[in-house]
Amino acid sequence: MTTENIYQLTVTMPSDREFSMKRAFDAPRNLVFQAFVDPELIPRWWGQRTSTTVIDALDAQAGGKWRFVEHSADGNEYAFRGEFREVTPPERIVWTFEFEGMPGQVLTETMQFTESDGITTITSTSLFDSTEARDGMVNSGMESGAAESYDRLAELLTTLQRASRERSTQ
């Protein structure tokens, strides 16, 4: 009998136009949510380890725009943008997501943050215009990129919690 490792990213396809990603973090929901809307924290976990991310825009409220630019070690830039449709701290974010390298391929991503016994689980469901658009994203290597970003997020959350504990004992 195998047990699911909740701290590893799992990807499923609940319909022909969706994919869903799920990952747990050993951190309170408020902190995990903050990491998704704080322009100081996002560059510390978004993207590959060998890249740097710059927040070009981030207005985390309904109707607000966002744009992140990832600079890879080989000098390439990868920009992502969208608009927040819903921000309900610390429970839910709904935004549009577009990779500027594939203009016009806009998906709607819903991120749900749930907490149980200090463990926060993010369930992110992306809805595409077509099966072909979904499959194109899945085949682009998005899963390994998302897994790496989420691993970096887990490390950041550990660092932030450790620093908070150290401050409270001083």
What are the two backbone dihedrals, phi and then psi, of residue 61, each rounded to the nearest 5 degrees? -150, 160
Residue 67 within a domain:
yes
For residue 2, the model assigns a pLDDT of 45
Q: How far apart are CA 128 and CA 105, in angstroms?
A: 8
pLDDT band at 4 (very low <50, low <70, confident <90, very high): low
pLDDT band at 122 (very low <50, low <70, confident <90, very high): very high
Residue 123 within a domain:
yes
Residue 163 within a domain:
no
Residue 164 within a domain:
no
How many domains is the chain partitioned into structurally?
Answer: 1
For residue 24, the model assigns a pLDDT of 97
Residue 124 within a domain:
yes
Residue 2 within a domain:
no
Q: Residue 20 pLDDT more than 50?
A: yes
Q: What's the DSSP call for residue 108?
A: E
Q: Residue 44: give the domain boundaries.
A: 10-158
pTM (2 decimals)? 0.93
- The CATH number for 77's domain is 3.30.530.20
Q: Is the four-CA dihedral 111, 25, 67, 105 of positive or negative sign?
A: negative
Q: How far apart are CA 4 and CA 89, in angstroms?
A: 28
For residue 28, the model assigns a pLDDT of 97
Residue 3 within a domain:
no
Residue 165 within a domain:
no
pLDDT band at 149 (very low <50, low <70, confident <90, very high): very high
Q: At what angle do helices 142-169 and 131-138 cross, to 10 degrees?
A: 60
Mean pLDDT of 56-63: 98
Q: Roughly how many angstroms between the first and final C-alpha of the chain, as a whole number?
A: 46
